[in-house]
Amino acid sequence: MAFIDIGVNLTNSRFDKDRAQVIANAKEVGVTHLIITGTNAQESQQAYQLTQDFDNCYATAGCHPHDSERMTADDFELIKHLLKHEKVVAVGECGLDFNRNFSPQPTQVKVFEQQLALACKLNKPLFLHERDASTTMIDMLNNHSNLPPAVIHCFTGSQQALESYLSLGLYIGITGWVCDERRGQELAEIVHLIPDDRLMIETDAPYLIPRNIRPRPKSNRCLPQHLPYVAQKLAECRQQTIEHISKITCQNSIDFFAIKPCDTQFSATINKNKDL
């Protein structure tokens, strides 16, 4: 089996001491591709640089809603420049976060609209962030008739929000949140509603470590090598095999991001990887 992690925050300082080893460990358990998340202009630049250092890494470029208040015109120009590169495969992480409101909502909307327009102009996929803002996001997406393919990254919303996004043709990214018996129960109960051709998986590492890892790691740092545990939980919730989850999520990710097919020389099973 092979897996593609569509959302890894590899520019995070928690990976500074062992970034290359983290990538190697992921590949050993079958995580053949990593999409490194760009959350602002500077981190998007760092994410792009990692794609030059590691063949199996790709990147996004954009401005997270938390950072929207700090985005300058020069930052936007840098993001546009990065998106010209072949290994920068999506606009984002961009969107709306009305849960924490680290940037004012009007500013979030303005900066998100800039990135929506850019994605439409470049016909680049969108890597979206949304928390407690689904109504506004859906309205904004509906305002663009030429919207490129888009994925709701780290979806944790309601059934109503899920159905709305699916009706727009969006892809859904599922993280270790679904493995959390405390917070993720509602998500676990609705993931079966996601069509096979709209499902992708991610770790959002170093965040959201899957709580179904046994034995539990001493560290709470989530790693790309933990992705098979997300796939395993999804298989259980959807009454499918992990092999099926591997197949459909890899194909969806390859098609969505227009990346090279998985290298099948790597195999991964939950039981085999006792050191996860």
Q: How far apart are CA 168 and CA 7, in angstroms?
A: 21
State the pLDDT confidence band at 270, using cuts at 50, 70 and 90.
very low
Say if residues 59 and 88 touch (Cβ distance below 8 Å): yes
State percent of the chain over pLDDT 90.
93
Task: Classify residue 66: in a domain, yes or no.
Answer: yes
Asked whether residue 223 is assigned to any structural domain, the reply reads yes
Tell whether 156 is covered by a domain. Answer: yes
Number of structural domains in the chain: 1
Q: What residue ranges in the chain does DSSP mark as E strands?
A: 3-8, 31-36, 57-61, 88-97, 126-131, 150-152, 171-174, 199-201
Please give the model's pTM, rounded to 2 decimal places: 0.94
Task: Give the percent of the chain with pLDDT over 70.
Answer: 95
> Which neighbouring-strand residues pair with 61?
91
> What is the DSSP secondary-structure string of 214-245?
SSPPSS----GGGHHHHHHHHHHHHT--HHHH
Query: Is 274's pLDDT higher than 70?
Result: no
| Cα–Cα distances in angstroms (integers) from residue 64 to residues 11, 101, 186, 214, 234, in the given order | 14, 12, 25, 33, 27
The closest of 86, 1, 9 to 259, measured between CA atoms, is 86
User: Tell me: the pLDDT tens digits for 203-252?
Assistant: 999 999 999 999 999 999 999 999 999 999 999 999 999 999 999 999 99
Question: What was the pLDDT predicted at 271?
Answer: 39
CATH number (domain holding residue 123): 3.20.20.140
Residue 9 lies in a domain: yes
In a domain, 272, yes or no: no
Measured distance CA(270)–CA(273) in Å, rounded: 6
Strands in 88-97's sheet, in edge-to-edge order, are: 3-8, 31-36, 57-61, 88-97, 126-131, 150-152, 171-174, 199-201
Residue at 175 is within a domain: yes
Task: Supply the range of the domain harboring residue 230.
Answer: 3-257
Widest Cα–Cα separation across the chain: 50
